[in-house]
Amino acid sequence: MAATVKKLDSPEMNIGERLFLFEIIKGMLTTNRHFWRNWFRRKDTVTLEYPEVKRPYPARWRGLHRLMKREDGSVRCVACMMCSTNCPANCITIVAGEHPDPKIEKYPVSFDIDLLKCIYCGYCEEACPCDAIRLDSGTHTAPDYTRRSLIAHKDEMLARGGPSIAKQGGRSL
């Protein structure tokens, strides 16, 4: 079956339409209107003087990662790899080791998060069965020049975290 093609005649443009003169004038008028309004009425300007004035974060905003501690000061993480498995950006690297306490099976020898890969989705926090990782630190990732300095290590995340009041190990009967 052959396709039928219907040719349409496009209307001829006059010289003003071909030069886009009217559109250029409209754009310049809009630019000038915004310039002069911002020049004389500074109250309409939405610029925030950042270092001195900081915008408050929303209540549901996710900050930098922090690792929670047990009552004895050790890390709550049991290196179950649930957070790294659930991470869609694949930015969490955990190396597990045997814990000296027989009640605790494993602990993270190293716990690293590549903050440049992280999308701050909160899946690691939701997947953690022992409330070891949280994203409610209230600070954002500071810019830096090197990739190596934007990898969060276990010590940094433990310094941001505090003791957790959540009960670890499930319900006691």
* pLDDT at res. 169: 57
Q: How many Cα atoms are found within 13 Å in the side-chain-facing hemisphere of 37? A: 9
Q: Mean per-residue pLDDT for 141-162?
A: 90
Residue in 135, 127, 134 with CA at minimum distance from that of residue 80: 127
Of the two residues 14 and 153, the one the predictor is more confident about is 153
pTM above 0.85, yes or no: no
Q: How confident is the model at residue 172 (pLDDT cuts 50, 70, 90)?
A: very low
Q: What is the pLDDT of residues 101-125, one digit of tens each?
A: 888 889 999 999 999 999 999 999 9
Q: Output helix, strand, coil percentages for the chain, rounded to the nearest 5.
A: 25, 15, 60
* pLDDT at res. 13: 84
> What is the percentage of the chain residues whose pLDDT exceeds 90?
46
Strand, coil or helix: what is 152?
A: strand
Q: How confident is the model at residue 126 (pLDDT cuts 50, 70, 90)?
A: very high
Contact between 157 and 113 (Cβ < 8 Å): yes
CA dihedral 96, 114, 126, 74 (to 10 degrees): 40
CATH code for residues 66-160: 3.30.70.3270
* C-alpha dihedral sign at 82, 127, 88, 64: negative
H-helix or E-strand containing 93?
A: strand 92-98
Domain range list for the chain: 18-47, 66-160
Q: How confident is the model at residue 173 (pLDDT cuts 50, 70, 90)?
A: very low
